[in-house]
Each structure stands twice: as C-alpha cells, then as structure tokens.
Structure 1
Amino acid sequence: MIAFLTLAVIVQSAFAGNLVEVLQNDGETTLIALVQQAGLADALLGGEFTIFAPTNAAFAKLPQATLDSLSKDTTALANILKYHVVKGSIHKADASNELQLETLAGTKIRFNIYSHNHVVTVEGSKITHFDLTASNGMVHVIDTVMMPPEGSIVDLVAGNSDLSTLLSKVQSAGLAGALQGDGLTVFAPTNAAFARLGSHVLDNLRRNPTLLKEILEYHVVPHTEYSAGLYNREYVRTLDTHHDVIRLGVSSSGSVTVNRNAHVTKADISATNGVVHIIDHVLIPARYLFSAILGRR
C-alpha cells in the first residue's frame, strides 16, 4: 500500500502543470492577468515557489480606485503580487499557528490556525483550497487579496489621525514598547470613543497612570485574532494585570461587537507584529465599571 501511494504521488507530480498552468486550471484568471501585466510570469517558472492565490472574487472585493492605481503602477502591483509568493513548497501540514514566512516582497506573512471552526488564515485571509500541486511548487487559494502591512501596530496607530488620542494615552502609560511584541491583537478605540468617556473620567485616567495602563492593556490580546477566527460568545483573555476577558459577539452578517457595546468599525488591519481592529467605544474591565476612580456611581 505504501509503495502504491508513493507511486501515485510521483505520477501526480509528473502530470502536474507548472504554477501558471495550475492557476489557469483553477480559474484564477484575474491573478494570471495581473502576473503577466507585472512581468512576473517567467520569474514564477524559474524556481520552486508557493503561491497564495486570491480568487477572482477576492480581487473584485478591492476598491476600483485601488485596482486602477495598481494598473498604472506596475512596480506597486509587482510588490503586492510578490507578497503572495514564498520560496519552496509549503504544504498545509507545514503550517502552524503564528508561523511567519518571508515573501518575495521581503516582508513576512503570518499563518493562524483556529481549531474551533477549522479555519486557516494567512494575514487574515481564509485559505479555501489547499495543496494544489504544481511541477515547480504549490498553490493555496485564498479569499482576500493580502496587502503588505505599513508597519508595526504602533506605526499603524501613529499613522491614523483618528487614533491620535489612543496614541497619546499609550505614550503616557509607557506602553509603546509592549506593543512592539509579536503576535498581538489590538482593539483600538477612536478619538470619538475616548470622548464618549467624558472629561471627568478622562481627567481621572490622566491622574492615575496605573489605571490608564490597565485599561489600555485590556484592549490587547497576546495572540493574533483575525475576523475569520472569531466566533459568537467567544471569551478572550487580555494583556492587563488580571488577564481579564473580553466577550466577542459575531452576528450572522459578520459584524463584530466587543463587550456588547463596542462595535468593530474596521477589522483586520495587518501589522508586522499582529493585527488591529478599530472600535467605537473604550473597553473597561468589569472590576472598574463602577469604580469611584472612574467617577461613576
């Protein structure tokens, strides 16, 4: 039996087309057209590679303005396409949670494995079809185009004007260094979210850096949680001193709430060291909800 299986694998490999042909056979016509436009087809035939291949529907999800911009800038297009390619043949069995692989673009992509729904993601994009074998590599089909991250979590917060209050609080609490750790998830409140706390609460937090640090750490999960891995009524422990939990709600439409009142308004912003989800309310650990130090009764 073992000899038969080995022979079957050899025969399958012998008749497998190259990477471009495998993509064609699987119907990834948009990806092939863009690869040809970027002048990368020959490069994909010159070595052994693994391609994380977005479907036509994945490309259709991109804003038209993004597609138009990429069509005019082949260098940027090539960089994004290279971000979907790694050297060597990577099988599904090779993946492990939080594994990072360096791409041809020079930046890394991160695997996450979610046991509860048997989902595997790469940079948050769900892998829908594994192990399409080519004569010179492997193809895994994904449902979303991956965009190279623009920096670390701190870089993303610093670069978003709507998160300037969060940035100042992180700096005041001395947490910027902690947010440079790897494999983190941050639920990032907007400026408006902090404003909802009211001036009295904000003044109390300003006077109590220990409490401020606790509340900010309550927004950080010490592992990577992309949307594809979240489920309704999930409890996730955070980075604060007591490792308090946040409760996630996921509706049938896919919208996500945190502790019931905070809504994720923008999800899955990849960073080099994790992921950021923007939320519209500040999260407060239950132990502090009615604390006099927050000025609440």
Structure 2
Amino acid sequence: MKKVLMAVSMSLAFGAAQAADIVDTAKSAGNFNTLVTAIEAAGLVDTLKGPGPFTVFAPTDKAFAKIPKAKLDALLKDKAALTKVLTYHVVPGKVMAADVKPGAVKSVEGSALTVSMMGNKVRLDKATVVQTDIAADNGVIHVIDTVVMPK
C-alpha cells in the first residue's frame, strides 16, 4: 500500500509540474475566450492539444471585439472559413520571441505572414505582438492585438 501511495503522489507531483497544452494554456489565461470558442467551433481542439510543436499568434478577446459582431458571428458558423483564419495564426515549430526575424513566415494555413518591426514592437501583418513567450508543453503563444486575415 505504501508503494502505491508513493507512486500516486509521485505521478501527481510530476503531472502538476508539466505545462499545459496550447488550448488549456489559452483557457486558463482568461483573455482568449473568443479564441477558444473559435478553436472549438472549427474542430481544432485535438490538433492544438497534439504534440506540435506550434507557435500560436493568439488574438485576445479585445482583438476579436474589433470585428463587427455580424461578421464574427458569420465566421464562427462557417467552419471552413473559420479554420482558414485560425490556422493562419499558427506557425509550425516553437518560435520564441528571440528567434523572430522580419520577413515572411509560412503559416499552417499555407499563406505567408509578414513579420516586421515598428520601433521596438514586432508586427504580424497588421497586428502588434503585445506579449511573448507564453510557454505550453506543445509550443508557445504570442499575444496579438488584432485578428489577422489570410490574403
């Protein structure tokens, strides 16, 4: 019995020390509710909980609020269009802020995102990166202030 309790407590301690995946990290942050709803509506939860690694440029709830409500509601109901928009925010691999360089970066959606510098701020298309390097066990999240749309 003592060995079983020790094994259980060790596994609990090990599990608690692990980071959460991209989806759970976004959920626990509290400012990505619309993004999480969109990920669920597009059927991308299992993918973004998968092994990755992924780099996600995550729009906040305030970023989604910039989209007119009727347009956002229509997007959330159109799984194909929603998937295209969401996968445009994802880059394969784990790209930390220190590794970001200006230029074109191919998204999971297939189109290129344009990374540029404006003063000391990193821009992704027309969005500004406002927070970087939120670690997840299957990648990293960088927070952006605007939803970017594929070309």
* Same fold, judged at TM 0.5 (above): yes
Deviation at 1:72, TM superposition (A): 2.3
Q: Which residue of 1 aligns with 2:48?
A: 44
Distance 1:146 1:84 in 2: 7
Percent identity over paired residues: 40
Map 1:279-294 to 2 at 5 A.
Answer: none
Map 1:257-272 to 2 at 5 A.
Answer: none
Matched residue type, 1:66: K
Distance 1:72 1:20 in 2: 20
Matched residue type, 1:38: A
Distance 1:87 1:37 in 2: 21
Report Cα offsets for 1:174-216 as digits up to 9, x if no partner.
xxxxxxxxxxxxxxxxxxxxxxxxxxxxxxxxxxxxxxxxxxx
Deviation at 1:51, TM superposition (A): 0.5
RMSD across aligned positions (CA): 1.4
Q: TM-score, normalised by structure 2?
A: 0.84
Which residue of the other structure, out of 85, 90, 109, is the alignment partner of 1:85? 90
2:110 match: secondary structure:
coil
Distance 1:124 1:94 in 2: 20
Distance 1:72 1:31 in 2: 14
Deviation at 1:15, TM superposition (A): 2.8
Q: Which residue of 2 aligns with 1:138?
A: 140
Deviation at 1:66, TM superposition (A): 1.3
Report Cα offsets for 1:89-131 as digits up to 9, x if no partner.
011111122x22111111011111123xx11111120101000
Distance 2:59 2:74 in 1: 18
Matched residue type, 2:141: V
Q: Which runs of 5+ in 1 are unaligned?
A: 1-10, 150-297
Report Cα offsets for 1:17-38 as digits up to 9, x if no partner.
1111111122211100110011
Q: Which has the higher helix share?
A: 2
Map 1:137-286 to 2 at 5 A.
Answer: 137-149=139-151
Structure number with larger C-alpha Rg: 1
Q: How many residues align?
A: 134
Map 1:55-74 to 2 at 5 A.
Answer: 55-74=60-79
Deviation at 1:16, TM superposition (A): 1.5
Q: Which runs of 5+ in 2 are unaligned?
A: 1-13
